Amino acid sequence: MNNRTDPILYIVIPCYNEQEVLPITAPMFLQKINDLAAAGKISPDSRVLFVNDGSKDRTWEIICDLAARDPHYAGICQSRNRGHQNAVLAGLMEAKSRCDITISIDCDGQDDINAMDAMVDAYRDGCDVVYGVRSKRETDTFFKRFTAESFYKILNAMGAEVVFNHADYRLMSARVLEEFARFREVNLFLRGMVPLVGFKSTCVTYERHERIAGESHYPLSKMLALAFDGITSLSIKPIRFITGFGVFVALVSFIGVLWAVIEAALGLTVSGWASMTSIICFVSGVQLICLGVIGEYIGKIYLESKHRPRYIISDATPNFGEIKEDAQ
């Protein structure tokens, strides 16, 4: 498929314990599908695809009920919770052979669904990737705004190519998804991997709202873990930083040794434990930090070498069709 004038759109929505918000936002997504189809921008065969990421509440039951009531809803269920990035990937990979374009978005209602109109227009004008970018962060606290913006700046500084203030709200064409399927990483950081695929891209700005219902599943700890995964999965700059810092410490240590020898030769040395203890603690701390960073990379190599499936689908709504396990 590669239809620019009447594309089949699949809105891919990862869901984890979203029983409170799903009944509110699901009709919103369906209405957007209907509005775009009525405007002649997408095919009436477009769908809303929910990906249940091993939810422990009634999320999957709600998805099945939605699919039974309207054929524009469909759902797939992962065999266990694999995390947000794997859930998005599962939806994209299962949708790529069924549609011309996908738009991934969270189900909490924070991302403005009306930005999809501009995304589809950009696709019809020739873009294969359209990034949804937040225009401002006035609804965030100072701490949230500071940490979020620092998150993107640090990622770019460390070599992970990301679009500033863009999360996982994006349009991707079927041919981009086909090429993206060749990226076999187990450690996923989609907002840094998608730009690596290339193809013509653009950005659409929008205002982000408060979560409609329920609680956020992305606290600061998960954001920090995601940032660290992004850096170590897409860049070797931390390793190079360690090398440079090691050279610097070695030079300083060499100067210190020369100073100690000269002081001893002149008979000016005074026995003391404070300076020696400080130097030992400093060097030991540096060594442990360096080993930790190197160990993180070794751990990722270990996980990648296993070639485990990045997602396993245990169930699907009857109207979705055949499901294939991602075991390549």
- Whether the pLDDT of residue 317 is over 70: the answer is yes
The pTM assigned to this predicted structure is: 0.73
- Whether the pLDDT of residue 90 is over 70: the answer is yes
pLDDT value for 312? 84
pLDDT value for 66? 93
Confidence of residue 292 (pLDDT cuts 50, 70, 90): confident
Domain residue limits, the chain: 9-217+309-316, 237-306
Selected residue with higher pLDDT from 254 and 202? 202
pLDDT value for 260? 65
pLDDT digit string (tens) for 33-48?
999 999 989 999 999 9
pLDDT value for 145? 65
pLDDT digit string (tens) for 117-153?
999 999 998 999 999 888 776 656 666 666 666 666 7
pLDDT value for 206? 85
Query: What is the percent of the chain with per-residue pLDDT over 90, rounded to a whole number?
Result: 31
Q: Rounded to whole angstroms, how far apart are CA atoms 45 and 177?
A: 19
pLDDT value for 12? 95
Highest mean pLDDT, choosing among 71-75, 230-234, 294-298, 324-328: 71-75
pLDDT value for 173? 93
- Whether the pLDDT of residue 7 is over 50: the answer is yes
pLDDT value for 269? 57
CATH node for 9-217+309-316: 3.90.550.10
Mean pLDDT across the chain: 79
